[in-house]
Structure 1
Amino acid sequence: MIVVVKNDLNRGVFLVANALGDLYCCVMKLVNVRANKKLKLCPVLFSENGSIAELPSCYLKAKSETNRHPVGVILLYADHIKSFCDYLESLDIYSGHSIDDILCGISRSVISTYLVQLAGQGYERSYIRLRETIISGMFTWLASAEGGRARASSGFESKRLDTPKPKRKRPRYVTQEQLCKLLLRMYWESQRCAVHALYDMGLRVSELVRITKDDIDELDDFPRELAYLPLMVRGSKGAGGEIKERTVIITRAVYSRIKKYHSSPQYRFAYYEGDKPAFLNTLGRPMTTKGVQKFIADSAKRVGFKPRSISPHRLRHGTALTFLTGELGDDHIQKLILIKEQFGHEQLSTTNIYAGVSPFLFVDELGARYVKPRYLEAKKIYDTTYLSRSKEKK
């Protein structure tokens, strides 16, 4: 069995679990890979006998040192490689051999058999494709000069994968009506305000929780007649996991809702050292990504939505729909560019997932083009879902 070792910064140790669930404490040796003065650590793979699986561990270290991937992506690579190594060690034919020796000697047919087995276990095509992509990257590295020519060939010289490329899923949109139902089943205005802001700006949850009170207060000096305001957010998915700032559009209605929430006693009297987050949970502490995801899921369950039909990412798709049907942008291309900038996409090809939904398809019963200003929609959501403190669930 291969175990992924994830470092514990507070304790300075590795926790290694074997097949029986026992814990061993080993002195942790940090892998110093610095990116803009921030320390990044990569996982290490151990075999069942406690020896380090050097080749996959070195590959993960090399991926980390490129500074192109955030820690979460490196850990994702580690989990997929771990599962593959577990499979290899479970085969009787390789009994008594180290995982490094196995990786150096197996042919691509072994990988193909493994992928077929995953398909037989019911894994989705996109999941299997991702795993083969990660495995092929490791084998290509093992056959390279950087990988020490551990393999004579990678087996992937043709660069063609066995698994078919999965079809790109079309976006599933959350409508204004669904959003109102979702918000009305949330217990606290802090939650309703945060999710309305998430939908209004099309943010990732990790970006929402980074907004501070000072960021919102910087908008106070803009003229009151402006329907849209420019808000600076600290975006995710920058190079190497770094924060990438960008400016997004926030409607006047949502800005007003946040300011009203900030004037509430629950927010004003919540003590916080340093830059105070714009959104706090019911205990007066900063909202977390998992916390937001959970109360969205809980509210969706109370409404009676189908499982997984409402999620933060589908709220983001709903934001794209408001841009497509809104008044901003003179044509479809301009609307897509607006979505690209709002969402922080690196390439317009990423935004093209929304290209199949032309705003000209939205017409009323008389055939007139349906265009609804986004700020009016935001105001309607605000008016429909705002509840005073006396009406909130105790």
Structure 2
Amino acid sequence: MVNLIRSSEECIYIKYLFLDKHERVIEYPTLFINSRLNNARYSPQTVYQYSKVLKYFCCYLERNQPNISVDDSLRAIEGNFIDTYIKKMSYSGLKAATIRNRDAIIKEFMVWLTSEESGKARENSGYIESKLKSAKPSRCLPKYVVTEEVIRFLSYLHDENQRCLVHFLYDTGVRISEVPRMKLSDLPDLSKHPLEANYFKLHIEGSKGRGGQIKPRDTYVTRTMIERIHRLHQNNKVYLKALVRYKKDMPLFLNVFGELLTNKAISDLIYKAKIRSEMNIHAHRFRHGFAMSILASEMDNSLINKLVMIKEALGHEDIQTTQIYSSIAPQVIQKIRQENIDNLIPCRFEEAQRIYEETFKPQKNHKEKRGRSKRVSSAKNSSTNS
């Protein structure tokens, strides 16, 4: 079994280490991954994804060629060995897009093995020209959430802090990774705008640039969402105490200890609510839901203009990425619009207001029991009984 070690220390040379079942260093993937880590074109998250894919591939090599080292296998395997590996992935039930992604990473690694940097470990990559071995996946329609699903999902979150955060993901279409960088001061000042203004540009220090660089952009936020966030900050004791420490750099969202929320913490709270609610919802569906909400909204009469709005708001590099929303049948968009009208939601602002009214609870009215408190109380009861 191949082990992958990611060092958390500030080390100049090795950040990642691949080890075989005998705890011996696997040289080639270790050198390859660390070369990518030092390359400005690759973000840390991309390098981590590369490392996981190569770990799976090295594990397969170790199982199927147990009598030689993984490095020797990498030097010797033919293209048909990789073909077999790709086919086994498809038999295992992995999605075509996932297989395609892994295929591309393995190809890049195998090509690197033919380079001077690797010491020309191989004469050829095992790939024919620039062609990948996997089938090109068909583009699937985006899976999104609608108003009623958002309301239901928020009801399974523990408190107003969590509900406000997830509502914010849907209202603005931001990525989870962008939330920790946002500050209260980033919100538009409502006092400087007329009362009839219901939509505002919101500046985002974006993600997913080359080398992890920040890609700034503007998205849209409703007046209702801004008011909900301010109410959270003005009435939650955790936020009131934290303001003394953070002052002008007050984060938009905090955890129960008054500390900055991490990407993992946000992902975890959504995942746990998904389990409790038995709804097949993940964070990206709120982002798709935001796009669908724009398409079904009154914000512009032109589909082209709405697609441009979505492209800018979601931070897509290419309009072709946004074109996936144009392939959604007009009947689907019309159905969403009609359902909104039937539920007295004629516009996006009314949608935000409905979600707010249906899901807001003052902090003093929260009676949910967290998992930890249940464990603590049960432990106390057992010790009392004994």
Give the TM interval when normalised to the shorter protein: 0.7 to 0.9
**Superposed CA offset, 1:43-100 (max 9, x none):** 23233444432222222233223312211211211121122122222334x61x3333
Give TM-score, length-normalised by structure 2: 0.84
Matched, 1:77 2:50: yes
Alpha-carbon separation, structure 2, partners of 1:197 and 1:213: 13
Higher strand share: 1
Counterpart secondary structure, 2:221: strand
Matched, 1:277 2:251: yes
Question: Relative to structure 1, is the Cα distance of residues 239 and 166 closer, same or farther in structure 2, using a 3 angstrom cutoff?
Answer: same
Work out which of the residue numbers 243, 267, 282 in structure 2 matches 1:311. Answer: 282
Question: Relative to structure 1, is the Cα distance of residues 359 and 329 closer, same or farther in structure 2, using a 3 angstrom cutoff?
Answer: farther
Work out which of the residue numbers 220, 223, 230 in structure 1 matches 2:201. Answer: 230
Question: Relative to structure 1, is the Cα distance of residues 124 and 228 closer, same or farther in structure 2, using a 3 angstrom cutoff?
Answer: closer
Question: Relative to structure 1, is the Cα distance of residues 64 and 187 closer, same or farther in structure 2, using a 3 angstrom cutoff?
Answer: closer
Work out which of the residue numbers 94, 105, 117 in structure 2 matches 1:134. Answer: 105
Counterpart secondary structure, 1:250: strand
Alpha-carbon separation, structure 2, partners of 1:233 and 1:75: 24
Question: Relative to structure 1, is the Cα distance of residues 88 and 252 closer, same or farther in structure 2, using a 3 angstrom cutoff?
Answer: same
The CA deviation at 1:179 is: 0.9
Q: What is the letter of the counterpart of residue 6 of structure 1?
A: R
Matches within 5 A, 1:1-394: 1-9=1-9, 29-31=11-13, 42-92=15-65, 95=67, 97-216=68-187, 220-266=191-237, 267-270=239-242, 272-273=245-246, 275-302=249-276, 304-306=277-279, 309-357=280-328, 362-363=333-334, 372-393=346-367
Q: What is the letter of the counterpart of residue 363 of structure 2?
A: R
Q: What is the letter of the counterpart of residue 388 of structure 1?
A: P
State the percentage of identical aligned residues. Answer: 33
Q: What is the letter of the counterpart of residue 333 of structure 1?
A: I
The CA deviation at 1:361 is: 5.5
Alpha-carbon separation, structure 2, partners of 1:349 and 1:125: 20
**Superposed CA offset, 1:163-201 (max 9, x none):** 211222211221101111222333311111111111100
Count of residue pairs the alignment pairs up: 361
8 Å contact from structure 1 (residues 325, 359) kept in 2: no
Alpha-carbon separation, structure 2, partners of 1:272 and 1:358: 50
Higher helix share: 2
Q: Name 2:371's counterpart in structure 1.
A: none
The CA deviation at 1:379 is: 1.7
8 Å contact from structure 1 (residues 143, 152) kept in 2: yes
Counterpart secondary structure, 2:200: strand
8 Å contact from structure 1 (residues 229, 252) kept in 2: yes
Alpha-carbon separation, structure 1, partners of 2:318 and 2:51: 27
Counterpart secondary structure, 2:4: strand
Question: Relative to structure 1, is the Cα distance of residues 47 and 273 closer, same or farther in structure 2, using a 3 angstrom cutoff?
Answer: same
8 Å contact from structure 2 (residues 292, 333) kept in 1: no
Alpha-carbon separation, structure 1, partners of 2:192 and 2:167: 23
Alpha-carbon separation, structure 1, partners of 2:329 and 2:91: 39
Alpha-carbon separation, structure 1, partners of 2:99 and 2:333: 37
8 Å contact from structure 1 (residues 222, 229) kept in 2: no
Question: Relative to structure 1, is the Cα distance of residues 69 and 295 closer, same or farther in structure 2, using a 3 angstrom cutoff?
Answer: same
Unaligned segments of structure 2, at least 5 residues? 369-386
Counterpart secondary structure, 1:67: coil
The CA deviation at 1:246 is: 1.6
Question: Relative to structure 1, is the Cα distance of residues 147 and 222 closer, same or farther in structure 2, using a 3 angstrom cutoff?
Answer: farther
Relative contact order, CA 8 A, sep 6+: which one is greater?
A: 2
